[in-house]
């Protein structure tokens, strides 16, 4: 699950407990791999760390985590480690695996559980809920099934069974990630890490100090709860609570219509709830390309049991108590005048996420956060209060606020490791894709059309747009899923891809051809020569690139034919 793009975030005020730590060793397996590409080993993927103490027990005793140091590189000089990572979510995990691959002696500090938000309270359990609710939506769609010649009796679901599916998946992936770190000899230090000086981190509440040549902050984020909202965890909830699926309310208000809000609206409506969106901006889905938002609203909102209020703030939300429903007081987002009061069974706060950086000890290295985010440059190097780089200190993922996505955190972590091992690397964030796992899905990479046109006006180049419909794709029609659109934003003078946006069946999988092209600098005139299997959904992208009108010719030379 991804973060909402519609509202600015404020720092999360969270206290931190500090247990002591010990490390024991086991014999490591001789495995070497990078990132989270561990499907062959049964491993999944995670996201950046979320240590919301409203859900974390305070540890008053020391903890033991097994790890192996014998094959985990060797430090030069007097440091305990070459690299110390604070946080074992996606960013920390990806950086740790890449560091060991590069020969660095590595440790990772974790005050909660390995996997961070994505595995434990985010994208992994949410996809399990979306998978189950998506099956329910399909089984309840008589028109769709009849068009395929299928007739089914009334479908039912077991709420606890759906919840167990999400929880079991999270447990399995969490175990896989932990084992992957142990297998390559990454030391897992249990306890909250606090920076006490240059290249020094205290682990837990003891006086144990660990030194490292380089340190990466990867502490992630927590759900952002606006002022005036009282969360009780039962009738007024955040995404952390919603993923437990302890109830399916008859009527739930979702505050925020970004990624988080949209995905949960998909889950709740499929399971029988009525949904009301409360959005501060003037339109739903404000973070998406406007044309995609318009189509998505027509498919994902209008036909479903959903209504919405836009241009309003939820100034006060009171949980249900004493037989009274949840009360939501709405005010005009611009004038702040009272607008309406909603009475619902439950309210989900989906207004984005706030960085979890309180108590990190940043003041000990003269770093001041900005709205809770750790300031960094384009190489993820931390910047102090005087605008100078803090030597050997980096920050990745949600904690720096550059791009609050799980895979962005991992990519940033890998980029940092490249730098500390001698290869300069700057990550192109415009090449990082994003996805919303509704039914059908939404995905995007690069600039929206308004952003691209603004850039074109400033820099003096023309912007063109090409579009293709899923209705023209054989595979989509075979699935009777022709509702969808792919949109390409590009420069017609040189074929540069500025952005690609997809709404339709398996959009989250299709976007990577475009994101990889942007990352590699591949031009449209060259992609047009690529071959796609028929009949597949990938031909949606094939037709999209072929429909673009580029003035430049192909830059890739055609190789000699090979006899087969």
Q: Which residues are catalytic?
A: 534
Tokens of 152: 């089914």
261 in a known ligand binding site: yes
Q: Is residue 434 part of an annotated ligand binding site?
A: no
Q: Which two tokens stand for residue 337?
A: 């005048």
Give CA–CA dist 42/510, Å, rounded. Answer: 23
263 appears as a binding residue in the annotation: yes
Q: Residue 221 annotated as binding?
A: yes
**Distance from first CA to last CA of the chain, Å, rounded?**
45
Sheet arrangement for strand 464-469? 434-436, 441-446, 497-504, 485-490, 464-469
> Is 237 a known ligand-binding residue?
no
Q: CA–CA separation, 450 vs 141, rounded Å?
A: 36
Query: Is 197 labelled as part of a ligand binding site?
Result: no
462 assigned ligand-binding residue: no
81 assigned ligand-binding residue: no
Say whether 257 counts as a known binding-site residue: yes
Query: Does the annotation list 256 as a binding residue?
Result: yes
Is 219 annotated in a binding site? The answer is yes
Output the DSSP codes for 49-109.
----TTTSPPP-S-EEEEE--TTS---STT-SEEEEEE--SHHHHHHHHHHHHTT--EEEE
- The gap from C-alpha 273 to its chain's centroid, in whole angstroms, comes to 25
Is 1 annotated in a binding site? The answer is no
Check the annotation: does 220 bind a ligand.
yes
- Compute the distance between CA of residue 262 and CA of residue 507 in angstroms, rounded to an integer: 15
Number of helical (H) and strand (E) elements in the chain, helices listed first: 15, 25
Residue 456 annotated as binding?
Answer: no
The verdict on whether residue 404 carries a ligand-binding annotation is yes
User: Do residues 406 and 47 make contact, with C-beta atoms less than 8 angstroms apart?
Assistant: yes
Classify residue 114 by its DSSP letter. T
- Count the Cβ atoms, other than its own, within 10 Å of residue 419: 16
d(CA 517, CA 217): 30
Binding-site members are 127, 193, 219-221, 256-263, 279, 352, 398, 404-407
Binding-site members for FAD are 127, 193, 219-221, 398, 404-407
């Amino acid at each position: 699950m991804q973060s909402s793009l519609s509202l600015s975030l404020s720092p999360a005020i969270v206290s931190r407990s500090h247990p002591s730590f010990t490390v024991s060793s086991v014999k490591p397996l001789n495995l070497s791999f990078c990132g989270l590409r561990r499907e062959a080993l049964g491993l999944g993927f995670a996201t950046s760390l979320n240590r919301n103490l409203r859900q974390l027990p305070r540890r008053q005793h020391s903890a033991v985590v097994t790890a192996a140091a014998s094959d985990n590189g060797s430090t030069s000089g007097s440091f305990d480690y070459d690299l110390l990572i604070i946080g074992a979510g996606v960013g920390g995990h990806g950086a740790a695996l890449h560091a060991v691959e590069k020969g660095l002696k590595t440790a990772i500090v974790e005050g909660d559980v390995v996997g961070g938000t994505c595995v434990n309270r985010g994208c992994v359990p949410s996809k399990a809920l979306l998978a189950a609710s998506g099956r329910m939506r399909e089984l309840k769609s008589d028109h769709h099934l009849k068009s395929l010649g299928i007739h089914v009796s009334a479908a039912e679901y077991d709420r606890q069974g759906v919840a167990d599916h999400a929880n079991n998946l999270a447990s399995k992936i969490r175990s896989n990630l932990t084992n992957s770190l142990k297998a390559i000899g990454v030391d897992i230090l249990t306890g909250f890490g606090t920076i006490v000086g240059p290249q020094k981190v205290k682990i837990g509440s003891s006086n144990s100090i660990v030194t490292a040549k380089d340190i990466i902050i990867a502490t992630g984020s927590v759900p952002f709860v606006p002022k005036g909202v009282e969360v009780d965890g039962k009738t007024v909830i955040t995404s952390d609570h919603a993923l437990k699926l302890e109830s399916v309310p008859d009527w739930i208000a979702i505050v925020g219509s970004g990624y988080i809000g949209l995905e949960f609206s998909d889950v709740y409506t499929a399971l029988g709830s009525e949904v009301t969106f409360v959005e501060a901006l003037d339109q739903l889905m404000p973070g998406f390309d406007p044309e995609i938002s318009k189509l998505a609203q027509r498919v994902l909102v209008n036909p479903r049991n959903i209504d919405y209020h836009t241009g309003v703030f939820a100034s006060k939300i009171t949980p249900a108590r004493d037989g009274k429903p949840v009360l939501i007081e709405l005010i005009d987002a611009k004038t702040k005048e009272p607008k309406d009061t909603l009475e619902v069974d439950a309210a989900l706060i989906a207004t984005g996420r706030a960085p979890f950086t309180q108590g990190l000890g940043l003041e000990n290295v003269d770093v001041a956060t900005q709205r809770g985010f750790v300031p960094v440059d384009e190489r993820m190097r931390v910047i102090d209060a005087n605008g100078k780089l803090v030597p050997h200190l980096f920050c990745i993922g949600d904690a720096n606020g550059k791009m609050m996505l799980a895979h962005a955190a991992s990519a940033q972590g890998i980029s940092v490791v490249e730098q500390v091992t001698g290869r300069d690397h700057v990550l192109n964030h415009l090449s990082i894709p994003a996805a919303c796992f509704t039914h059908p899905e939404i995905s995007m990479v690069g600039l929206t059309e308004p952003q691209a046109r603004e850039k074109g006006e400033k820099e003096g180049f023309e912007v063109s747009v090409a579009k293709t419909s899923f209705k023209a794709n054989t595979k989509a029609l075979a699935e009777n899923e022709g509702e969808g659109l792919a949109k390409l934003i590009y420069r017609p003078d040189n074929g540069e891809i500025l952005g690609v946006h997809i709404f339709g069946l398996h959009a989250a999988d299709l976007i990577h051809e475009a994101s990889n092209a942007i990352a590699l600098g591949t031009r449209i005139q060259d992609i047009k020569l690529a071959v796609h299997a028929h009949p597949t959904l990938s031909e949606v992208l094939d037709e999209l690139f072929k429909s673009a009108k580029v003035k430049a010719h192909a830059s890739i030379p055609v190789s000699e034919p090979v006899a087969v």
